[in-house]
Structure 1
Amino acid sequence: MKMLDPKKLYVQYRPNANPADPKYPRRYTLTHSDTTAQLFLVAGPEFAYDTTNEMRDEVFAEWKTFNREKILYGYVLIADENTSKSQAKTRNEIFMRELPRVLEAFFYGDRFFFQAHPEYKDAPVYIQFESVYPEYRQVKSYGPISKYQ
């Protein structure tokens, strides 16, 4: 895969989260800069809403248990009531293209967690696309998180 430039990824651990501790809840917020192409990953017990902006192009993800199996479940906003259909189409295309890089950033950015807890490497990833337009509202499977190492 290797879409990620690790030199452009900045990782922050919030209080009650550290690189190797599987303390729950463990949530991720990924934002980016359009001007520098830098990615900013925050890991912590809460989503880092304070790092988001009005463009709403962040990706949230969290570890959940489903049928006794750990999964990484993410959320992206494609369109709300202030988004036109053409904007929604463009946002959907961008998220579809960029999600492999985002998942690579999650895996690389939290690599010490995966090294300390290799059983999480096989966890499946699901992303929920939220939209006021039904054609963009879906949950998509991205396979195991290790696919993005």
Structure 2
Amino acid sequence: MEKLRSYLITVKLMPPVTEYGPVDGRKYTLSNMETDESRILIIDTKYAMNVGNVRSEDILTAEWRPKLGEYMLTGKVYISGSEHDEMVALNRYNVLNDNLPEMIQNIIKGDLALYKHVPWLLDAPIYIQYDSHIPRYNVLKHCGTPRRYLI
């Protein structure tokens, strides 16, 4: 997994999702393509896990969810399951942790039109769950707000 480059992103809005909404249940799937260095961001009401030519271990999923009357963007990255030993998990954790800010930026900038219609989302918190069978890498990380990633 190499450093992500924002300019190689393809964004697909899948109906019924539009640039205006819906916000509730708006789901993002950011994947690395196997064939080249490009990434694909699919915005839908369900996760797009079966997209052809993507590396399934390099997927960031995220969703807008209401909580206590406000929205939060919650996401998940896969670190390791029982098929990986601790060294592989550590390597994946370090690489994904380094790439996470740019991955989040790809999601935020890929859906930029949404923030023109619902600008209060710019100040909503972002939480990313690192999914691992090893407790030390199975953590929840606060990643700021979308406004931070517009720079």
TM above 0.5, yes or no, is yes
Q: Which residue of 2 aligns with 1:24?
A: 24
Corresponding position: 1:11 with 2:18: no
What is the Cα deviation at residue 32 of structure 1?
1.1
In 1, the alpha carbon distance for the partners of 2:20 and 2:106 equals 16
What is the Cα deviation at residue 66 of structure 1?
1.7
What is the Cα deviation at residue 136 of structure 1?
0.2
In 2, the alpha carbon distance for the partners of 1:107 and 1:88 equals 27
Query: What's the secondary structure of 1:48's corresponding residue?
Result: coil
**TM-score of the pair, normalised by structure 2:** 0.89
Q: Which residue of 2 aligns with 1:48?
A: 48
The 4+ residue runs of structure 1 with deviation greater than 4 A are 3-6, 52-55
Is contact 1:4-1:105 (8 Å) kept? no
Provide the aligned length of Structure 1 versus Structure 2.
147
- Structure 1 residues 50 and 35 mapped into 2: Cα distance closer, same or farther (>3 Å)? closer
Q: Which residue of 2 aligns with 1:117?
A: 118
**Which runs of 5 or more residues in structure 1 are unaligned?**
none
Spell out the pairing of 1:49-128 with structure 2 (5 A cutoff). Answer: 49-51=49-51, 53=54, 55-128=56-129
What is the Cα deviation at residue 117 of structure 1?
1.1
The one-letter code of the counterpart of 1:80 is: G
- Structure 1 residues 93 and 5 mapped into 2: Cα distance closer, same or farther (>3 Å)? closer
Is contact 1:10-1:39 (8 Å) kept? yes
Root-mean-square deviation (CA, aligned residues, Å) is 1.8
Is contact 2:31-2:56 (8 Å) kept? no
In 2, the alpha carbon distance for the partners of 1:125 and 1:132 equals 23
- Structure 1 residues 86 and 65 mapped into 2: Cα distance closer, same or farther (>3 Å)? same
Please give the per-residue CA displacement for 1:110-131, whole angstroms capped at 9, x wherever unaligned.
0011111111111110000111
Corresponding position: 1:131 with 2:127: no
Name the structure, 1 or 2, with higher relative contact order (CA <8 Å, separation 6+). Answer: 1
Please give the per-residue CA displacement for 1:58-87, whole angstroms capped at 9, x wherever unaligned.
000001112221000000111101111111
The one-letter code of the counterpart of 2:146 is: I
**Which runs of 5 or more residues in structure 2 are unaligned?**
none
What is the Cα deviation at residue 24 of structure 1?
2.9
Corresponding position: 1:143 with 2:136: no
Please give the per-residue CA displacement for 1:34-74, whole angstroms capped at 9, x wherever unaligned.
66321110000000011275641100000111222100000
The one-letter code of the counterpart of 2:50 is: D
